[in-house]
Every structure is written in C-alpha cells, then in structure tokens.
Chain A
Amino acid sequence: MKSIDKLKRLTGESVSPKPENERPAVPPSSEKQFRIDDLRRRIDGVVARSAARARAAQDEARARGNRALCEVLEGEERENRHGRFFLAGGFLSGASRHGHRSILEAFDIDMTAAGMLANNPVLGAYHPSDALFLDTETTGLSGGTGTMAFLIGLGWFEEGRFHVRQILARDFSEEPAALACLQEIAAQKKFLVTFNGKAFDVNLLATRFILNRMPSSLHELPHLDLLHPARRLLGHRLENCRLATLEADILGVEREGDIPGWEIPQRYFDWLRRRDPRLLADIFEHNRLDVISMATLTAHLVDLLNARALKQHAHPDDYLAAARLLLKKAPIASVKKILELLGEDACAGMSFASKKKLANLCKRAGRLDEAVRLWRQIIERNPRDFYAVSELAKHLEHRARDYARAMALIETALAGGNLFSEEEKDSLGRRLKRLTARIQS
C-alpha cells in the first residue's frame, strides 16, 4: 500500500478499500502476461496524456486569469530580468479629497516635524517627495518565513500628484520579479513611511529578499513608522490604534464595502486556484486606500506638532500629547505655539489629569502665569489636591514670596477630612513648618 494511503488512514480520512484480487492466485501464462503488459502500456499512455492535458488546462486557466486581471484592474504585465509580474498604477491629483483633507495638504509637510515623529532627525534634510509610502498584503499574519507579501502597495509625491503603484506577484514564482521592482523604486527614494512597517511589512520583505537570495537595501532606509507617533498623540481617545480606526475617527475617511483584513490571505489562495481576478480587486482597493491614508495621516500628525491642525479635527489632549513629545526631542521654544493654542478657551473642558499635564508643561516652558492659573482652577474645585496644592505653595513660597497665602493654602488642605498619604502629609507638614519659620524670621 502507498504510504500516503496509510497516512490518510492515520489521519482518519477515508481510503478506497483494497482491491480484492490484488495478487493473482496463479502465475499468468506467457500469453496472458503479454496481454497484461500491453494493457498496462495503454493505461500508462492514457494516464500520461491526461496528466499532460491537466497541465495544459492549468496553464490556460492561468493565462486566462492574467488576461482578465488587466480588464478588471488598471495595470499591465511587466517583465524584468527576474521574470514577469503585474503592476497596477494610477495617481491622485492634488485637489482630490481623502477624508477631511485634500491630497495637496500632504505635499509640503514640515520635514523637521516628520523627523521628530520618526525619532530620526535625518528626515529633516529630505523633501516630502523623497518619501516612499509602503503597505503590503500578505498570505498570513503569523510572521516567519512562510508568509509572503503578494501585493506591495507604494505611493509617492511627484509633480503635484500622488502616485500609487501596486506590485502583484500573481503566483509564488513571480515573487523575485516583484521584489526586484520594489527594489528599483525604493532605490530612487530616501525614506520609508509605513504603518506598523517596522514590526511587520519591512521585516517580512527583508525575509523574502533573503529567501530569494536577492540583495536589498530596504531595511536600511530611514523609516517613519506612523503607528508609534499615532498611538502617542491619538491613542488616548481611540478604542485601538488600527489604521481603519484612525481613518474613521481622525481622518474622516469612510470606506464602503472594504474587505476585512482577515479575509485577504484566503482570497489570494483562492485566486491561486481559481484565477478569478474579482477575488483580488477588493484587495487592490483596500491596499490603495491604506497607502493614501498614510499620506494624510502623516500630514495630520505633523500638523499636530506644528499646532496647525484644524480645530474641529483635533482635541486639546492631542496637542497636550504633541507638546509632551516635542519637549522630549526639541527645544522648549518649539512647544510655544501649541501652548498658545491651548489657551483658556481650549482647556476649559479638560479633565483634571490633562490640566495637570498642561500645567506641568507650562511650568517647564516657563509660562508660569498659565501654570498658576491652572493650579488655581484645580484647587478651586478640589482644595485638597496634593499636586496642585504643593505646586502652588512652592510657587508662592519661592517666586511670589507670599508666605501667608502659601500657609493658608496648606492649612486649608490639611484641615478636615483629607485623603493624603502619610508621605504627602509629611511633605506638606515640612513645608508648613518652613513657612512658619520664614514668617517669624
């Protein structure tokens, strides 16, 4: 019995039962033997012919699928020295809108701010047209060497338009040609923009280059991975930080009939078997929108850093987060614009926690008046807030030198039922003692 039939039995699959007369009871006569041999030859011939026919049918289905692909999608078959692949492409004019924005707004992003988002100041020396936006569609999400990027979506700014190119490996065998095409385009660009590309897309592509024994400089390019700054600036008010969520809640992009991400690998496997281009059309559209959204998301994040985002699309807490990011990487002066924006009106509706963060920022940026105003606002609502009380008392003691008011502040806080920890009580008590001494001296 063939091993594979044994295997099927082990895995509980049905196997056609053994033919009853597997071995003839008596050795066949020579004439019989001849007839059997002849029959065998004929059967072999039929089998070989039908195998050849099956192969031919497969080739034909493949060719038919490839032709149909060109009819359904705007693209064509290309060839390079690694073989053939399919390249779709188009562009958006500057005036086209994508959610709240026009593509035009993404053309001249401030590269210094982009460098801060990427945590890589090198970007500051580049131009927005040096960016290569990249997003892949893959055969799985598990990572590892067995996952392939079958569709590589690319985007860049050129002559007032946003260009999108989508490289499709119509079969595994087309992967080297597809990767070579990617490499060729990437060689003309200076940095990458992705969404979660550091952990996923670029990693995966690096693996595919190695597996195909092809050199690649992709992972050496400076890389702005939008996931991390987006989480930092906007994560506080989002359910999760997926690109789709950002589109819906921040960028105002609505997708209709979008294919869910988890369906994509199976669609591609189905394409490999059925060669029906409609299976892929949705994936191309999904990928194209992802690439475009990355461009407008970049613009939005840069605007937050530069305090230029439209009021109705930005939340005061977004700016707060932006200011905190700036303070880590840039001179204090850089947060000035944001703090100005977060004036009295803007922060009226802020939570206590946000107000505290803002007060801290103001203090660090030397905008003491604003900090004092915020501390007072907090104390007005809660005279026993440890942070605000001690900050304001510190200010009164060291800057305003108004010891009496500082003392009054602390005494009010300590009086009656408070929820201070022992440590906090100690700290306030020490300050009170010092103030008493200062007044008496």
Chain B
Amino acid sequence: MAKLTLDEWIARLKKNKSFSANAAAVVEIPARPGDWEDYPSWVSPHLRDVLVKRGMERLYKHQAQAVRFIRGGRDVVLVTPTASGKTLCYNLPVLQSILDEPETRALYLFPTKALAQDQMHEAHGLITDLQADIKTFTYDGDTPDDARRAIRRQGHIVVTNPDMLHAGILPHHTKWQKLFVNLKYVVIDELHIYRGIFGSHFANVIRRLVRICRFYGANPVFICCSATVANPREHAEKILERPVALLDKSGAPAAAKTFVLYNPPIVNRELGIRQSAMTPARKIASDLIGNHIQTIVFATSRLNVEVLTKYLKDKFVKTKPLDDHFVTGYRGGYLPNLRRDIESGLRTREVMGVISTNALELGIDIGNLEACIMAGYPGSIASTWQQAGRAGRRTGRSLAILIARSNPLDQFIMENPDYFFSLSPEHCRINPDNLLILLHHIKSAAFELPFEKGEKFGGENLEEFLQYLEEKGVLHQSGDRWHWAAESYPADEVSLRAINPENVVVVDATDAGNHKVIAEVDWDSAFTAVHDEAIYMLASEQYHVDRLDLERKKAYVRRVDADYYTDAMTYTNVRVIDSFDHHRTGGAIVEHGEVQVVRKVVGYKKIKFYTSENLGYGDVNLPEKDMHTTSYWFTIPRDRLRTLDFTPAEVIDGLSALAYTLQHLSAMFLMADTHDIDRSLGDKSGEWFVSQGKTGRVITSFSGGRPQAASGPDGARIDEFDPTIFIFDAYPGGIGFSELLYHEHANLLSAARSLIEKCPCAFGCPSCVGPTLEVGKTAKAIVPKIIDLVLNQ
C-alpha cells in the first residue's frame, strides 16, 4: 500500500467520523511571517559575512533587540518559541566581544549534558567558519582529566551544566581564575527548567557564582532564555536577584501546525470510564509510523513509556522483524550510549517512532520530526507546547495530538479548549530560601570563600546560619570571618536535582556469573519502582525484582516474560507541626503551615497487559519515609458533617473525593506540575488517616508509631476525629505553594463545585471526583454538599 504524506494523512483523519466525534478541538495554527532588522553597526563585517553565508541575511527583530541590550550590559530574559534563533541572541554578542577583546570569557549553562554538547557544536560551527582563534569546550563529568587544565586556562566559551558548576567549578574557583577574572557573559538556557526544587537549588548556585565573580572583580551580564511561561521576568529576577529586561515578541516566521485535542470515547457511562489514553495513542502512532511519518509519542510516566514501546514493538516486529530500532523507547535511566544512539537514529530517520518521557522535551537535536502524540496532558501548558514543538521545528507542516486521560485536569482542558489555546502558561515558582536548600549552599559557599561579617546570602539571617554551622563544627569563626573547618567536600553532599542525592542501581542478575548494571533509579522512585517482587520495565524488557537491598542501594533483577506489570500502593499520613496562619470560612478552619508527612509503600497490584485486569496483590515491607514540608489544609468539624444526610462511610468517601478533585485543580491554579503537590485526608494530630486498602477505604489509626487498621469499610468511625484535607508541597521544606493555595481557598472550592456540576457522568468519574470504584457511588452527590458546608455559614 502506498504510504501517505502527513498532509494526506491529516486530510483523511478529518474525514474520519469517529475521530471527529471525539476531537474536542482541531486548531490550525497558521504560519506566521517574520519581522527583520539589519545587523547593528558594531558587528564586525567578517562575522556578519559568516552569518549571511549561513542564511541569516538579517536579524529577526527580537534578535536585534536582544543583542542591543546585551551589548549595552543589560541582563535579559528571552522568551520566544523553538526555532526562533535564540542561540544567536547570545552567540552573536559573545563572539563579537571575544573578537574585540580576546581575553573575554563566557560561561554557558544548560540543564543537561546532552544539550550542552549540542550547543557546543553549534557555537563551534560558527567559530570554524569565522576561522578565529576562539576556543569553546564542554566541561562536564565526561571531560577527560588531561583536557581539563587546558579548558580552564584557554576556553573562551565554557559550556557546562549547573551540577558541574556546583560541584566541579565553584569549589575549585582558584583554578578558574583566568575565566572568572575575565567573565563577561553568563548564558542560562532553558530557564523554565529551573523551577521547584531544582530551581531553588539553582538560584543558590547562582548566588554562589555571583559571590565568586565579585571576589575576582567580575560583573558578568546574564542572558537567560526560556520557553513560554507566565512569569519569565519575575522568575529570572528571583533567580538572579537583580532587575532583568524581558524580550518576548518573536520576530521569527513560524510554520503551520495542526493541533488536535482528542478525548477518548466513554466506554462506561455509568462509571464515567473513558477509554485509556494509551489505546488511541497506540493506534494513531502505529498508523503514522506505518506510513513512515516520523513520530514522537510522549507518555506521562516511565511505566507508560515501557508499556507503549512494548505494544508498538510487538506490532512492528511482525512486519519488520529485523530492525529493532524502528520503534524505540527513550527515558532517563537508559544508559547514555543507548540514548546517543537513539538520538542519532532519529536524525538519520532510522528510528521512525520514539516513545519518550519528557526527557526529550528539551532542545536535544533529534532532527525534524513530523508528528507528536501526547498520551496524557503533560501537566503544564508550557510542557505541552514544548513537546508539540518537537514536531516540525523546520518542516512546513506538523501535527500535534493531545490525548486526554480521565483525570480532572485533562478533562478540564478538553472541556475548555480555549483555555488551553489562549491562556498564558504556567508560573515558574522557586523558593531559594527553603531552609534545607539554603543551608546546603551556605556550607558550599563557605567552602569556596570564608564568609565575612555583614555579608548577605539569601533572604534569611545569614549570621544565625553561620553560628548554627559553627555549633555543628563545620565552620570556625576567626575574627570577623567564618572559615570552612571540616574535612568533607560539601558540594558532594547534595544533588541539585532532588533533596536526596542517593540512587539505587538496578543489577541484572539473570546470568549468575555476569551481573550487569542496567539502570539507575532515584531514591524516592526506588520504593515504588523496584520494591521486592515488582516488575521493572526497561527498554520494553520485563525484569522481576528479586531483592531490593536498600543498604547497598542495589536492586537485583532477573529477566522474565510476564503478562503483567506491577503498580505500587502507598499510604500517606500527615501531622501538623506548626500553623503559620488561619482563618474561618463558613464551617471550616483553613490553615497553612508546616507538617510532617510519613509515607510508606504497603503493597502492589499486579495488572495484566492489554486488559488492565487486576491479577492480585502482594505486600511490600519497606521502611517509611518521613519528611517535613509545608501544607495548606482545612478542617471540617465532625458535628457539621453529621448534619449531612449520608452514612459516615459515605462522608469519608466524599471527603476523599473532594481531596482528589482539589489536588488536581490546585495544580491548575498554581500552574504547576501535578507531581509537585500531594494530598491526604486525616486529622491534624496525625492520629487518624484514610487510605485506600486492598478492598476499599480504611481509616487507620496511627498509634505507637505503627499504623493499624481501626475499622473496616463499613464501620468507618467518623465520629472519632475532625476530618482535615491536606494539600501539601511534595518536597521537604516546601517550595512555597501552600501559602498561595491558602489564599485561593474559596476560589479553589468554587471551581471544584463547578467542575463536578458540569461533568456529564452519572455518579462521579475520574474526570471529576475520581473513579467510583474508589470513591463510591454517592461521591458525586455528596461532594457539592460538603463544599457548601465549607463555604457557607
């Protein structure tokens, strides 16, 4: 059969009735003309010639403005779409400045090694054309030792990542004297990646960088680039702690794109269950790939990547038995070599389909893909546009399909396509003064340079921290200075990407004599992904976890061929430690403050491939994890709930359902990732909490440090406590979401009521209050009544 082109494929799709019935929106984003300006006069003719030869006759308007600002010494943040020539905005002024003044140095920061490599090649290409003696190097964990010395002394442009700056460069700044003394520009690309916990760390690394620059008398210009986010300037200013000029009008022409929002059909109206997003994703992807339309599929979890890759491989192995790379998975946890292979396979079109987590969302060069399928809303508008942008960076037309899942956020987007297409994307939020994060970086900073009395670092009282660290015996005050006085190397004690830098190594012990490390799992995921008896999936192979050895941080796995995968069950218990503020609304007391969260993986479900049938349960015995964070919560006195005409068990179900809705809506209100926040239902003392057991909802009492079931699903003793719904920051110490939610309390609950009332389901569904199997048949009826209790006097 003849293969269809993308245009033909789209035309056929539009005629397909069953597809159209489920398409919530088909939006044609037209091509946009460009807006140009001449090169400024200070650009040397030679450099201009090189750029003109590369097809850049003139600059886009935003480029011209950016280079003008940068040349004038202003810190800027650039917010323009992919393929709008952001790179030139910094390469042009940096290269010109080095041509003018050969001692000039520039530091480029990218969030990943792969991006750094990409950008180094780009700059290197320009320099080769220029035939100038300008040296550009990447400096990261892969840089050989013998090359490092030369890079430190001679590199004009050093391209690195924040982790390396944090642990490899700043603590050795004296070796980089030449760079710091002459540092004129610092480029921070993909600024929007530095949010949440990573961003809070990053802001502190920048504080340290600025401090070291000051020591050498340098005051570099900062050039930030970001994907479209709601608050680019605010975010940049929070990271840099100084005023920054915003440039957000793109002058670049853009190619046409067809953007489809697809809502899978309802398969069970009573239960409100829709077809899984994975099903249409699989069908559409296999049809596109079958037509040799190069396609990227983004799945929302590592597990989904593996499941989908397995399905698609199964399909194409039949028709193309020889080529294992025709369809492939891609995610963090794959070893670097494999990832480089896949990236180049995509560029050469040997790989026709790739299924990825958001690992491929950033600007890694994978060539010009034609179609992008998102199996599930990526969690933020910014991510959605980034992912959609991976298709059609250079070609004339491209296709993006967003397939909704059955959760409130996805369904909200489907119900309100305008919201998606018109609204500004998310805010980036960071909390650089998160006490734990700040403490780590004060230690690292003290290692780099002694602190002097009166010095400032962060928004907290620095001297208190210094005294605290002196009590701990890591600092020593001598005169008016605090010196590092310990043997350790503090930058190694913290990873920027998470609070806990530990990793668990996955060891394949299939062949007893030949153990192989096949992947790494971060500490927090290890509890749910590689617990004993779990099925761990990697590159669509299944591995049975024989043993998770937490002490040695190893999971021993064995290759198996099972027809199921596993999904971990956890419980969460929250206890209030300190209330920062409170007020009363109607019948509830609303508060925000500090809480202790205890989590434990208690078991797992076995789920059959294709049918998603539940094959059984198993127990998991892992230690619980304990963290302090910030939370917003509200408590409804039990007397008030008694006035409702429902059984106590139904009330508990209703409260769980409300918590479910609120967590998802909070993510939208905060314009944050859903993973950044979590929920729990219990009471303020932490003595009682509600969890989902094997057979239904149970109230568990937490006494003597051990949880025990207090009651079965029938006799839920609601009269024992005043139920409290917690929506909390999913990171130790919190990143500042809770206070915002506290102030949005009334709006949040009104939105929840409106979402539930508008939902077409009969008794509640995953799109509003959660699946009825979990929250019971009365949830949809009771939640609005609970909301009334909370909001009205």
User: Which has the most chain A C-beta neighbours within 10 Å: B487, B489, B490, B594?
Assistant: B487
User: Which has the most chain B C-beta neighbours within 10 Å: A9, A140, A145, A269?
Assistant: A145
Given the interface pairs A10-B733, A211-B174, the reply to whether A146 lies near B484 with Cβ below 8 Å is: yes
Q: Chain B: which residue is nearest A262 at the CB level?
A: B487
Stretch of B16-24, B410-418, B441-449 at the chain-chain interface: B441-449
Is there a chain B Cβ closer than 8 Å to A421's Cβ? no
In whole angstroms, how far apart are the Cα atoms of A255 and B628 in the complex?
52
Given the interface pairs A9-B628, A10-B733, A146-B446, the reply to whether A140 lies near B486 with Cβ below 8 Å is: yes
Q: Tell me, rounded to whole Å, the shortest Cβ–Cβ distance linking A274 to chain B.
A: 12
Binary contact track B428-450/A, C-beta < 8 Å → 1, others 0: 00000001100100000011111
6 residue pairs, one from A and one from B, having the closest CB atoms: A146-B447, A146-B484, A140-B487, A207-B174, A172-B483, A142-B489
In the complex, chain A residues 100-147 whose Cβ is within 8 Å of any chain B Cβ: 139-146
In whole angstroms, how far apart are the Cα atoms of A266 and B460 in the complex?
30
Is there a chain A Cβ closer than 8 Å to B589's Cβ? no
In whole angstroms, how far apart are the Cα atoms of A3 and B733 in the complex?
12
- Find A269's partner among B172, B476, B478, B578 (CB 8 Å cutoff): B476
- Find A206's partner among B174, B464, B465, B733 (CB 8 Å cutoff): B174
Is there a chain A Cβ closer than 8 Å to B337's Cβ? no
Q: Chain A: which residue is nearest B444 at the CB level?
A: A146
Sample 16 A-B pairs with CB under 8 A, ordered by A number: A3-B464, A4-B464, A4-B468, A139-B486, A140-B486, A140-B487, A142-B488, A145-B171, A145-B173, A146-B171, A146-B446, A146-B484, A172-B476, A173-B479, A173-B481, A207-B174
Chain A interface residues (CB < 8 Å from chain B): 1-4, 6-7, 9-11, 139-146, 148, 171-173, 206-207, 210-211, 265-266, 269, 272
- Find A172's partner among B171, B435, B450, B486 (CB 8 Å cutoff): B450
- Find B488's partner among A10, A140, A173 (CB 8 Å cutoff): A140
In whole angstroms, how far apart are the Cα atoms of A206 and B173 in the complex?
12
Binary contact track B721-736/A, C-beta < 8 Å → 1, others 0: 0000000000011000
**Is B487's CB under 8 angstroms from A142's CB?**
yes
**Is A139's CB under 8 angstroms from B628's CB?**
no
**Is A145's CB under 8 angstroms from B449's CB?**
yes
In whole angstroms, how far apart are the Cα atoms of A279 and B468 in the complex?
25
Is there a chain A Cβ closer than 8 Å to B231's Cβ? no
Secondary structure at chain B's binding surface: helix, strand, loop or mixed? mixed
**Is A1's CB under 8 angstroms from B578's CB?**
yes
**Is A266's CB under 8 angstroms from B487's CB?**
yes
Binary contact track B29-54/A, C-beta < 8 Å → 1, others 0: 00000000000000000000000000
Q: Tell me, rounded to whole Å, the shortest Cβ–Cβ distance linking B309 to chain A.
A: 40
In the complex, chain B residues 610-633 whose Cβ is within 8 Å of any chain A Cβ: 628
Q: Chain B: which residue is nearest A204 at the CB level?
A: B174
Q: Chain A: which residue is nearest B173 at the CB level?
A: A145
Chain B residue contacts of A206, Cβ below 8 A: 174
**Is A144's CB under 8 angstroms from B171's CB?**
yes
In whole angstroms, how far apart are the Cα atoms of A145 and B168 in the complex?
11
**Is B447's CB under 8 angstroms from A144's CB?**
yes
Is there a chain A Cβ closer than 8 Å to B485's Cβ? yes
Q: Tell me, rounded to whole Å, the shortest Cβ–Cβ distance linking A270 to chain B.
A: 10
In whole angstroms, how far apart are the Cα atoms of A35 and B245 in the complex?
54
Q: Tell me, rounded to whole Å, the shortest Cβ–Cβ distance linking A84 to chain B.
A: 12
**Is B172's CB under 8 angstroms from A139's CB?**
no
Is there a chain A Cβ closer than 8 Å to B461's Cβ? yes
In whole angstroms, how far apart are the Cα atoms of A146 and B175 in the complex?
13
Q: What total of chain B residues lie within 8 Å of the partner, measured CB to CB?
A: 38
**Is B448's CB under 8 angstroms from A145's CB?**
yes
Chain A residue contacts of B460, Cβ below 8 A: 3
In whole angstroms, how far apart are the Cα atoms of A272 and B172 in the complex?
25
Chain B residue contacts of A172, Cβ below 8 A: 450, 476, 478, 481, 483, 485
In whole angstroms, how far apart are the Cα atoms of A266 and B476 in the complex?
13
Chain B residue contacts of A145, Cβ below 8 A: 171-174, 447-449
Is there a chain A Cβ closer than 8 Å to B243's Cβ? no
Chain B residue contacts of A9, Cβ below 8 A: 577, 594, 628
Q: Tell me, rounded to whole Å, the shortest Cβ–Cβ distance linking A179 to chain B.
A: 13
Chain A residue contacts of B732, Cβ below 8 A: 10
In whole angstroms, how far apart are the Cα atoms of A2 and B465 in the complex?
11
Q: Chain B: which residue is nearest A6 at the CB level?
A: B435
Q: Tell me, rounded to whole Å, the shortest Cβ–Cβ distance linking A313 to chain B.
A: 35
Is there a chain A Cβ closer than 8 Å to B473's Cβ? yes
In the complex, chain B residues 206-253 whose Cβ is within 8 Å of any chain A Cβ: none
Q: Chain A: which residue is nearest B447 at the CB level?
A: A146
- Find A148's partner among B449, B464, B465, B483 (CB 8 Å cutoff): B483
Chain B residue contacts of A144, Cβ below 8 A: 171-172, 447, 489
Q: A145-B449, A172-B483 are in contact. List 17 more A-B contacts (CB 8 A).
A: A4-B465, A6-B578, A6-B594, A7-B468, A9-B628, A11-B436, A140-B486, A141-B487, A145-B171, A145-B172, A146-B490, A171-B476, A171-B478, A172-B476, A173-B478, A173-B481, A211-B174
Chain A residue contacts of B488, Cβ below 8 A: 140, 142
Is there a chain A Cβ closer than 8 Å to B177's Cβ? yes
Q: Tell me, rounded to whole Å, the shortest Cβ–Cβ distance linking B468 to chain A.
A: 5
Given the interface pairs A146-B447, A171-B478, A172-B450, the reply to whether A7 lies near B473 with Cβ below 8 Å is: no
Q: Chain A: which residue is nearest B171 at the CB level?
A: A144
Q: Chain B: which residue is nearest A208 at the CB level?
A: B174
**Is B733's CB under 8 angstroms from A139's CB?**
no
Q: Chain A: which residue is nearest B167 at the CB level?
A: A144
Chain B residue contacts of A4, Cβ below 8 A: 464-465, 468
Q: Tell me, rounded to whole Å, the shortest Cβ–Cβ distance linking A259 to chain B.
A: 15
Q: Chain B: which residue is nearest A270 at the CB level?
A: B473
**Is B448's CB under 8 angstroms from A146's CB?**
yes
In whole angstroms, how far apart are the Cα atoms of A369 and B21 in the complex?
98
In whole angstroms, how far apart are the Cα atoms of A385 and B732 in the complex?
68
In whole angstroms, how far apart are the Cα atoms of A1 and B447 in the complex?
28
In whole angstroms, how far apart are the Cα atoms of A141 and B487 in the complex?
7
User: Which has the most chain A C-beta neighbours within 10 Å: B473, B486, B578?
Assistant: B486
**Is A265's CB under 8 angstroms from B487's CB?**
yes
In whole angstroms, how far apart are the Cα atoms of A6 and B479 in the complex?
28
In whole angstroms, how far apart are the Cα atoms of A289 and B102 in the complex?
48
Chain A residue contacts of B473, Cβ below 8 A: 269
Chain A residue contacts of B173, Cβ below 8 A: 145
In whole angstroms, how far apart are the Cα atoms of A317 and B549 in the complex?
48
Q: Tell me, rounded to whole Å, the shortest Cβ–Cβ distance linking A109 to chain B.
A: 31
In whole angstroms, how far apart are the Cα atoms of A210 and B449 in the complex?
11
In the complex, chain B residues 163-180 whose Cβ is within 8 Å of any chain A Cβ: 171-175, 177
Chain B residue contacts of A148, Cβ below 8 A: 483
In the complex, chain B residues 640-678 whose Cβ is within 8 Å of any chain A Cβ: none
Chain B residue contacts of A11, Cβ below 8 A: 436
In whole angstroms, how far apart are the Cα atoms of A139 and B460 in the complex?
29
Q: Chain A: which residue is nearest B473 at the CB level?
A: A269
Chain A residue contacts of B577, Cβ below 8 A: 9
Q: Tell me, rounded to whole Å, the shortest Cβ–Cβ distance linking A208 to chain B.
A: 8
Chain A residue contacts of B450, Cβ below 8 A: 172
In whole angstroms, how far apart are the Cα atoms of A172 and B476 in the complex?
8
User: Which has the most chain B C-beta neighbours within 10 Å: A4, A9, A207?
Assistant: A4
Chain B residue contacts of A2, Cβ below 8 A: 464
In whole angstroms, how far apart are the Cα atoms of A312 and B412 in the complex?
89
In the complex, chain B residues 188-208 whose Cβ is within 8 Å of any chain A Cβ: none
Q: Tell me, rounded to whole Å, the shortest Cβ–Cβ distance linking B569 to chain A.
A: 27
In whole angstroms, how far apart are the Cα atoms of A171 and B479 in the complex?
10
In whole angstroms, how far apart are the Cα atoms of A207 and B177 in the complex?
10
Chain A residue contacts of B449, Cβ below 8 A: 145, 211
**Is B435's CB under 8 angstroms from A10's CB?**
yes
Chain A residue contacts of B174, Cβ below 8 A: 145, 206-207, 210-211
- Find B435's partner among A3, A139, A269 (CB 8 Å cutoff): A3
Q: Tell me, rounded to whole Å, the shortest Cβ–Cβ distance linking A93 to chain B.
A: 38
In whole angstroms, how far apart are the Cα atoms of A272 and B488 in the complex?
17
Q: Tell me, rounded to whole Å, the shortest Cβ–Cβ distance linking A228 to chain B.
A: 16
- Find B172's partner among A10, A141, A143, A265 (CB 8 Å cutoff): A143
Chain A residue contacts of B481, Cβ below 8 A: 172-173
Q: Chain A: which residue is nearest B434 at the CB level?
A: A10
Q: Tell me, rounded to whole Å, the shortest Cβ–Cβ distance linking A1 to chain B.
A: 7
Q: Tell me, rounded to whole Å, the shortest Cβ–Cβ distance linking A119 to chain B.
A: 17
